[in-house]
Amino acid sequence: MENEKLTKYKDKRDFVTTPEPEEGSGPQAHTFVVQRHQASHLHFDFRLEMGGTLKSWAVPKGPPSQPKEKRLAVAVEDHPLAYAGFEGVIPEGQYGAGTVEIWDKGTYEAVKPDDPEAQLESGKFSFVLKGERLKGLFALVKTAYSSKSWLLIMKEKAR
């Protein structure tokens, strides 16, 4: 069905000659979520949908809200995509026992759409957040201190 919709577009072009794309999805919006997690220590869990899971960081002080603000973000294990919709109480005795609330949710787009996972692997990833609270250009940058320590930086606020 997808292809049928593009028949007119394709008929008009010779893709051997023109540099225009024949098909493909182009830059894509993916889900991000921030969960306020009142566990033994209050923190915010920042998660980006990538490669079929949610890449996750625990941000003790919460995400930055002003340009040039940086917040420590500790990389934690990937979470399943379904976790982006999770709110509730993790029972006493379970890992992360406490209350989880969705603090913000929306979509993000990588500034460079090519292979976001490789960008993360290299220690720097820039992206635009379109949430209810968080809107603008952000970056995650790995610090030299440890492989788990990152900075979540707000670069520009969306108008």
Question: HSE-up of 52 (CA within 13 Å, CB side)?
Answer: 0
**Residue 152 C-beta: closest distance to Mn ion, Å:** 15
Of residues 45-104, which lie at the interface with Mn ion (CB under 5 A)?
Answer: 45
Interface with Mn ion: number of residues (CB under 5 A): 2
Of residues 4-23, which lie at the interface with Mn ion (CB under 5 A)?
Answer: none
42-50/53-59 β-pairing = antiparallel
In the complex with Mn ion, the residue whose CB is nearer, 45 or 104, is: 45
Amino acid (1-letter code) at residue 88? G
Amino acid (1-letter code) at residue 26? G
Only segment of 2-10, 41-49, 103-111, 147-155 that touches Mn ion (CB under 5 A): 41-49
Only segment of 32-40, 83-91, 117-125, 151-159 that touches Mn ion (CB under 5 A): 32-40
Burial of 47: CB neighbours in 10 Å, binned 0-12, 13-18, 19+: buried
Nearest residue relative to Mn ion (C-beta): 37
Please spell the DSSP secondary structure of 62-79, one letter per residue.
----STT-EEEEEEEEEE
Could you list the residues that contact Mn ion (CB under 5 A)?
A: 37, 45
